[in-house]
A and B are shown apart, each in its own frame.
Chain A
């Protein structure tokens, strides 16, 4: 059960990162910032909602709406004002640009929300708990697992069963040809960056009730998400799912049976996978370009 909960959390956290890499070939370090912005927005607005005595059950909707409403302007602004001028640059340059943006956003978060922690414990305990092997788990954790399934399934449906998704796949395969065929690639990049960033913000929002929302919250998430998507293969949706499941289960087994290895085990798995499949488990053969 612990493995399933942790895997679900990891998958939600890593999904946006793999989507943006898959489409735009950007290792987006601002992913951590959007995670933190989502958590702060959810924690502060849900706390305000509950403090005014509004129905606690609706606080779950407030979590989601708060993350989307606050994170969306940041995502659009960053893509339109900075990133869109950098797509012709080397991947490493864009990586450095997103890192710089991450550092700036860390301070922006402090300017907006300060350094004091935010808590919203109510949504975590509100749904009661269930028992597995004589141990109580808050039902909220099931919501997390359900959210992971909905996000993963929804994104797969969007990519494979809608016109926009199919066009996006074309953009992924070859942006130049897509542009020649009349696809507005810039618009797809904007939509992808916004969607990926909103997924990060939602991951933060869903995490907010279980943690203390403090400065630096997004740092570890980047490292963990990166480990997950690298194991699965950068840019691969099923890869991110499998990576999350492997990391979640291996970590939980380690905590229960060999706690002294917990710190090392995730990166050991990553190293082992990369030693056998250097581009991750679900990497596809790259079409050769002259």
Chain B
């Protein structure tokens, strides 16, 4: 009789097992800056977005097709890691996330240097990793990966979009100048912009390219050099305190009035420094985010919920984090459905995410390049205007994804040099 009891219990346990497995939480490693200079403009807004989105998904409150609770019914657990510190630290932290914390997947990384270092480690550990913000196009240009994805567009899009905006907003531009931070991001951004401008306006004159040290803080000499060079257009990919210091120091000296000034990450400063940004400054948001986000139901849900929860506007890093989690959720559920409702493996989720196209708060995300692992999106730029004490963007121009991103299999630099044509 005892034997029979055991059999019944075993059968009951077996019958309950799939349900229990479905309820087993999905652990997501979230990596973003919680300290250091990148925390305030990117890290904390992205962490807040992750908090908000995961809370909404767990409550099943997100709009369709994101309405199912958690990931395919399994609740989400967030393991958050600070991205500050050296690249070596980040590689160690990533290994900890995977091997000690046993996360199911990782969404993270603002720094391009960290993305370049983490990608091969993610591949080695066979852990699905979605980069949400870093910009370098080299990740999928120089290598191909099975487990690594990026659901936000590359920095190439920002620079090409900026050049196209110059051509549209200031036809007859004859000279340009740059003010960028002297490291990979600043140099790549200026390199792509200069190349794109030379392709669009073959006789363009480069007046000066200023490359101060990252976090230098004092830019009077650079501003003087730009004022005396009198270029038609100034390009700057400054971010964080450097961007804010530039606005505070250049505004009173009339730099933005003299030259059309493009701040490719300017959106992160618009809510904090609104009244200090002179009218007519061109602001970028690294894609259709923030003030350039479409009026779709996902943006309504995300923007409204974020502002309600944090009493502050979500910036582009927040949008990128939200769409990174939503993309992985869709892929997870697609893979789970294909797996007969059972929890999918990282390989199955990766296969579902490859070449996927989905809608998010920033509009359509197409995993169209990098063998289906790299997103392209449309982008937008506009000029500032202070109205009633609130900074708005006017003269907004949008550029379709295919116009500002290279086609599949082509390196960004070759595409720009070739006149934005597929070879």
Contact = CB atoms under 8 A, between A and B. Distances in A.
Interface stretch (A18-26, A155-163, A214-222): A214-222
B329 to A, nearest CB: 28
A119 B244 contact: yes
Nearest to B248: A121
Interface stretch (B144-152, B167-175, B208-216): B208-216
Nearest to A1: B224
Contact of B249 (A110, A210, A216, A220): A210
A119 B272 CA distance: 9
B149 to A, nearest CB: 28
A6 B220 contact: yes
Contacts of B213: 220, 262-263
Interface in B187-234: 208-213, 215-218, 220-222, 224-225, 227-228
A9 B218 contact: yes
A219 B272 CA distance: 24
B224 A212 contact: no
Given A119-B272, A136-B254, A211 B221 contact: no
A138 interface: yes
Contact of A119 (B44, B224, B240, B273): B273
Interface string B320-340: 000000000000000000000
Interface stretch (A70-78, A248-256, A274-282): A248-256
Interface in B296-335: none
A133 B228 contact: yes
A125 interface: yes
Contact of A216 (B36, B43, B248, B251): B36
Interface in A107-141: 110, 115-117, 119, 121, 124-125, 129, 133-138, 141
Given A216-B36, A259-B209, A117 B217 contact: no
A2 interface: yes
A215 B254 contact: no
Nearest to A125: B252
Report which residue of B35, B221, B248 has the largest number of chain A beta carbons within 10 angstroms of its beta carbon.
B221
Interface residues of B, number: 40
Contact of B215 (A9, A124, A216, A256): A216
A260 interface: yes
B244 A110 contact: no
Interface string B40-71: 10011000000000000000000000000000
B253 A137 contact: yes
Report which residue of A9, A210, A219 has the largest number of chain B beta carbons within 10 angstroms of its beta carbon.
A210
B78 interface: no
Contacts of A255: 210, 212, 221-222, 224-225
Contacts of A5: 220
Nearest to A117: B40
A283 B252 CA distance: 41
A215 B253 contact: no
Contacts of A2: 220-221, 224
Contacts of B273: 119, 121
Contacts of B346: none
Interface string B233-268: 000000011011100110111100000000000000
A115 B227 contact: no
A33 to B, nearest CB: 15
A211 B36 contact: no
Given A115-B39, A116-B40, A138-B252, A256 B241 contact: no
B87 interface: no
A129 B253 contact: yes
B37 A210 contact: no
A207 interface: yes
A9 B249 CA distance: 14
Nearest to B183: A263
Nearest to B273: A119
B182 interface: yes
Contact of B218 (A116, A135, A210, A256): A210
Contact of A141 (B220, B254, B272): B220
Contacts of B244: 117, 119, 211-212, 214
Contact of B224 (A9, A135, A251): A135
A134 B221 CA distance: 14
B35 A214 contact: no
Contacts of B225: 255-256, 259
Given A211-B217, A255-B212, 20 more contacts: A1-B224, A3-B221, A6-B218, A115-B44, A116-B40, A124-B249, A125-B252, A129-B252, A136-B227, A209-B248, A210-B248, A211-B244, A211-B245, A215-B39, A220-B216, A220-B217, A255-B225, A259-B209, A259-B211, A260-B211
